[in-house]
Amino acid sequence: MAYGYRAIFVLLDTYRRRYGLRNIRAMISRYAPPVENFTEGYIRFITRRTGIAPEEEIDTRSARDMIPIVAAMSEIENGVAAVREDVEAGWELFLE
């Protein structure tokens, strides 16, 4: 599980660095585009879970921002709450 979480941390960091996507709305709109998903619902779910506004700039190198975002993404993708320790282990792998 940790390597799967590491992958999403890498992907979201790439979105910021390569494409200039700096908030939940921009990142989720790319990750789960409206042509394939209910993107607005996805964004609302993540903002409710994290307390981060859709257009608030996030730091993809900050555990405070990213661990809750990725945990919420995991929950919406898998239908069950993420195991926080697994997400944190993925974060540690991402930092290496």
33-67 pLDDT per residue, tens: 999 999 999 999 999 999 999 999 999 999 999 99
Domain count, the chain: 1
CA-CA distance, 43 to 52, in Å (whole number)? 10
- Residue 80: per-residue pLDDT: 97
Assess contact for 3 and 51: CB atoms under 8 A: no
Calpha distance 66→64 (Å, rounded)? 6
Percentage of residues in the chain having pLDDT higher than 90: 100
For 39, the domain range is 2-95
Task: Give residue 21's pLDDT.
Answer: 98
Mean pLDDT in residue range 64-91: 98
Q: Tell me what pLDDT residue 72 has.
A: 98
pTM summary value = 0.96
